[in-house]
Structure 1
Amino acid sequence: MENSDHTFNPSLAAALMKFDPEDGEQIVEYFNTHVLLSREKALLQASVRDQKKLLVENGKLKNDIQQLRVQLQDKQRRRTAKALLAPAPPPVGASAAVPTNPPPSSSHDRRDRQNRRRRGERKARPNSGALSLEAEPCIDPSRLDLRVGRILSIRRHRLAETMSVQEVDVGESTPRTVVSKLEETTDFEELQGRLAVLLCNVKACQLRGVVSQARLLCCYSSNDCSELLIPPAGSNPGDRVTFLNYPGEPDKELQAKQRVWELLQPDLQVDSRGVATFKGCGFEVKGKGLCRAPSLTNCIIR
């Protein structure tokens, strides 16, 4: 019924015109219109399917790019470590005995030996740095000093309306002052007295005249909604948040040049069940449970 030009079959059209000269032309026009509409509908449905497929593929490509970036950084660090740890040439005269009657050598050979000696002396110097690099711990979340804290008080920063200042009990002799960026609609009275999760081994820094001594961990969705990450019920200030697959003790203080937080943060996420994870491994307070987002899912933690 439909020919290669997506119109009504000419032979059938001629038969209709012959059978019904008065209405045949209108019937043929109706069928031609129906064929064109059917074709446009099929093209539109195929376009929608292609768009959905492209969105899924774009999401996968973004994840692949992020993983490749991390792998490239790891390879660069390993390459640097391998170059520094390469054995240096032995010092001159340390291994081979000098012949009693050495054969005569040309001036070119003497210059070549002198150049090799100089290069050997330069390569022997970085040994101490190589040893220190070899002892450097790897980048994993056990280096983060994450603790449960209780917000004792919260107020608006006097010099920045988008910031708040909290006094937080993290199980130490005195509370820590924490400067955070919270939404304008945040209910301060509701947050006072609540438990939260804090990163406690960041370097203290001054934000608009107030020294911040820790980082308050929050969950952020794609539409800019945010809420505090909360520890499991029964947690107490000072309880440490750990990761089952990453045992170890946290750094005393995270060094800015090592960028530990920056490298780990992209993999700190809330899964589809609302559980805080690092590469699928949950934030855990031993014996008490897992840390969660109050209502958000599939979002980032920072």
Structure 2
Amino acid sequence: METSDGLFPPSLAAALKKLDPEDGEQVLEYFKTHALLTREKALLQASVRDQKKLLVENGKLKKDIEQLRGQLQDKQRRRTVRALFSPPPQTVSPASTISANQPPFPVGATEAVPGRRPTSPQEKRERRGRRRGERRAEGGATGHPPLEAEPLADVFRLDLRVGRITSARRHPLATTLFIQQVDVGEAATRVVVSKLGENTQLEELHGALVVLLCNVKACKMRGVVSQARLLCCSNSTDITELLVPPTGSTPGDRVTFFNYPGDPDRELPSKERVWDRLQPHLQVDCRGVANFKGCSFEVRGKGLCRAPSLTNCTIR
């Protein structure tokens, strides 16, 4: 049997009052309050889990909608091209048909169709030119590729990871370039060439935790091959700061976006220019938090990535 509030049986309440007549009521009230708080905490955690699940499902639905929209636009463009350049259907006049019992024309003779004048050589040349123009418009002779759906450029395609700079030195051929050895949780460190401010001190770089874009194609910068991209933020006065991962991060931790779930590319295709299309949407907000279209850079279970002191600036 439970009490009217559904928390404790009457026997337990009676036992507490018997053991401690003076404070039994207070002890019982304390237990009731603790039980109610525990129940409310469990309900709150369940609602938070449901909310996160809904956000993940919304992200997937958004991705599917974008893909379907691209496919629909592609079909509409192809249909428009066919409607513009396809020749009109030719209607055959009954008077132009040849009777089955009519003798064949001799070689070199032309058929005289009632109501139609003979075609001149100049008209034939113009007709052939129009046909070639139609074929070129369909993408065969001009070298232009056929219309295709624009590839999806979403932020989950970026392989962003936490790294630790183990050594740094200035580039011998450029005063604004720095060469760093960065540990990103792999068997060997990566060489990263980055453009920082002229006032950057080497002592500040050594041992610093940074955010790296790891799936860019390796490129040579002033004779040194760079194997990743170091993310910085800068404002209109050309002040540059390194983007800082949350406290407790370790080399190799993934930087993710809650509203954009998905696995990154093994290597970003250079032809799609994914970074160039996403970079204008990478910002530091008024709180100093790095975000993509309002969704924060997050190391799961550890916190958000921030700028040390800058706000309302771009990430590059």
TM range (shorter): 0.5 to 0.7
Q: 213, 216, 225: which one pairs with 2:227? A: 213
Query: Structure 1: 5+ residue runs without aligned partners?
Result: 1-77
- Corresponding position: 1:281 with 2:288: no
Structure 1 counterpart of 2:273: 259
- Corresponding position: 1:247 with 2:247: no
Q: Could you state the TM-score of these two structures normalised by the residue count of structure 2?
A: 0.57
Structure 2 counterpart of 1:164: 178
Superposed displacement of residue 96, structure 1: 8.8
Structure 2 counterpart of 1:194: 208
Structure 1 pair 101–289 and aligned structure 2 pair: CA distance change class (3 A) = farther
Structure 1 counterpart of 2:246: 232
Superposed displacement of residue 168, structure 1: 0.8
Deviations 1:82-117 (A, max 9, x none): 36983477799xx99988974535445994876665
Query: Structure 2: 5+ residue runs without aligned partners?
Result: 1-72, 98-112
Deviations 1:229-253 (A, max 9, x none): 0112232322222223333333443
Structure 2 residue identity aligned to 1:285? V
Moved more, 242-251 or 171-180: 242-251
Q: Could you state the TM-score of these two structures normalised by the residue count of structure 1?
A: 0.59
- Contact 2:235/2:314, CA 8 A, preserved across alignment: yes
- Contact 2:139/2:146, CA 8 A, preserved across alignment: no
Indicate the structure with greater helix content: 1
Superposed displacement of residue 256, structure 1: 4.3
Matches within 5 A, 1:16-165: 82=77, 86-87=81-82, 102-103=96-97, 104=113, 105-108=116-119, 111=124, 118=132, 121-122=135-136, 129-130=145-146, 133-134=148-149, 136-165=150-179
Superposed displacement of residue 215, structure 1: 1.2
Give me the whole-angstrom Cα distance separating, in 1, the residues matched to 2:77 and 2:138: 15
Give me the whole-angstrom Cα distance separating, in 2, the residues matched to 1:100 and 1:172: 79
Structure 2 counterpart of 1:51: none
- Alpha carbon RMSD of aligned pairs, Å? 3.7
Give me the whole-angstrom Cα distance separating, in 1, the residues matched to 2:197 and 2:128: 68
- Corresponding position: 1:270 with 2:284: yes
Give me the whole-angstrom Cα distance separating, in 1, the residues matched to 2:269 and 2:79: 21
Aligned length: 220
Give me the whole-angstrom Cα distance separating, in 2, the residues matched to 1:298 and 1:163: 25
Indicate the SS of the match to 1:130: coil
Give me the whole-angstrom Cα distance separating, in 1, the residues matched to 2:80 and 2:152: 17
- Contact 1:85/1:130, CA 8 A, preserved across alignment: no
Deviations 1:119-157 (A, max 9, x none): 55445565x9437x32x4223322322221111111122
Indicate the SS of the match to 2:247: coil
Give me the whole-angstrom Cα distance separating, in 2, the residues matched to 1:125 and 1:267: 33
Give me the whole-angstrom Cα distance separating, in 2, the residues matched to 1:116 and 1:183: 59
Structure 1 pair 290–86 and aligned structure 2 pair: CA distance change class (3 A) = farther
Indicate the SS of the match to 1:265: helix
Structure 1 pair 160–129 and aligned structure 2 pair: CA distance change class (3 A) = closer
Deviations 1:36-81 (A, max 9, x none): xxxxxxxxxxxxxxxxxxxxxxxxxxxxxxxxxxxxxxxxxx79x9
Deviations 1:251-288 (A, max 9, x none): 44334444332332222111111100122111122333
Structure 2 residue identity aligned to 1:232? P
Give me the whole-angstrom Cα distance separating, in 2, the residues matched to 1:193 and 1:119: 63
Give me the whole-angstrom Cα distance separating, in 1, the residues matched to 2:306 and 2:211: 10
Indicate the SS of the match to 2:193: strand
Structure 1 pair 257–183 and aligned structure 2 pair: CA distance change class (3 A) = same
Structure 2 counterpart of 1:72: none
Superposed displacement of residue 192, structure 1: 1.8
- Contact 1:145/1:199, CA 8 A, preserved across alignment: yes
